[in-house]
A and B are shown apart, each in its own frame.
Chain A
Amino acid sequence: EIVLTQSPGTLSLSPGERATLSCRASQSVSSSNLVWYQQKPGQAPRLLIYGASRRATGIPDRFSGSGSGTDFTLTISRLEPEDFAVYYCQQYGSSPRTFGQGTKVEIK
């Protein structure tokens, strides 16, 4: 199965700053079949990005995804207070679907 490794584990930033989150796959993810989710404490995950770079419905344009093959990035251009959360990547290019271990974006 494809192992996804997210880095860093924790990102300490201030509101207004730019956040860059990485997701690296142990083998190439076919067709850029990668998504990003946001999860806040006690809540369900929320889909942000699918197909590596396509924003899901209702997602602000400060969220963007990029990458292909084995290296993917989620960028939050200017952090809003509501963006502090844990972010997970997940691949659906190869069975079984697998998740990264998550990156926590916390207030500095």
Chain B
Amino acid sequence: EVQLVESGGGLVKPGGSLRLSCAASGFTFSGYYMNWVRQAPGKGLEWVSSIGSINTYIYYADSVKGRFTISRDNAKNSLYLQMNSLRAEDTAVYFCARDPYCDGGTCYSDYWGQGTLVTVSS
């Protein structure tokens, strides 16, 4: 059974940093693109960042470019999101998700974690 479990969320002050983790199991992690999607309270879904199967093909949304860094450790079946210079508008539930198919680097997701809440507030 495919499982994705996020951790690392919490309350952080504006300008602060946080590192999210996503532990994957039930599939060959190294064979898939992975991504982070966020959802602000009561709002829709927003893609944040994607990474190819071997730390290549890394992409970011304009809203987080230069502040967030995605990475993965295939030996540990884990995905990460380092978030720096956090802003109030980064407040959201952050989901990690598996991408089974990509067309030209743009993908869709078939399995999602339950998410971890990041709150940026003073």
Which of B106, B111, B115 has a CB less than 8 Å from the CB of A92? B106
Q: How far is the CA of A4 from the CA of B42 in the complex (A)?
A: 18
Q: How far is the CA of A37 from the CA of B111 in the complex (A)?
A: 11
Interface centre among B46, B105, B108, B109 (most CB of A within 10 A): B108
B103 contacts the other chain (CB 8 A): yes
Q: How far is the CA of A34 from the CA of B51 in the complex (A)?
A: 20
Which of B47, B114, B115 has a CB less than 8 Å from the CB of A98? B47
What's the nearest-Cβ distance from chain A to residue B14, in Å?
25
Contact B113 A31 (CB under 8 A): no
**A72-102 vs B, Cβ < 8 Å mask (1 yes, 0 no):** 0000000000000000101011111111111
Which of B44, B47, B95, B106 has a CB less than 8 Å from the CB of A93? B106
Q: What is the total of A-B residue contacts with beta carbons within 8 Å?
A: 61
Contact B103 A44 (CB under 8 A): no
Contact A43 B106 (CB under 8 A): no
Which of A44, A99, A102 has a CB less than 8 Å from the CB of B47? A99
Chain B residue contacts of A10, Cβ below 8 A: none
Total contacting residues, chain A, CB less than 8 A: 26
Chain B residue contacts of A39, Cβ below 8 A: 45
Chain B residue contacts of A88, Cβ below 8 A: 44-45
Q: How far is the CA of A47 from the CA of B46 in the complex (A)?
A: 16
Q: How far is the CA of A98 from the CA of B113 in the complex (A)?
A: 19
Contact A31 B108 (CB under 8 A): no
B32 contacts the other chain (CB 8 A): no
A50 contacts the other chain (CB 8 A): yes
**B75-92 vs A, Cβ < 8 Å mask (1 yes, 0 no):** 000000000000000000
Interface centre among A37, A45, A46 (most CB of B within 10 A): A45
Chain A positions near chain B (C-beta within 8 angstroms): 30-31, 33, 35, 37, 39, 43-47, 50, 56, 88, 90, 92-102
Chain B positions near chain A (C-beta within 8 angstroms): 44-47, 59, 61, 95, 101-115
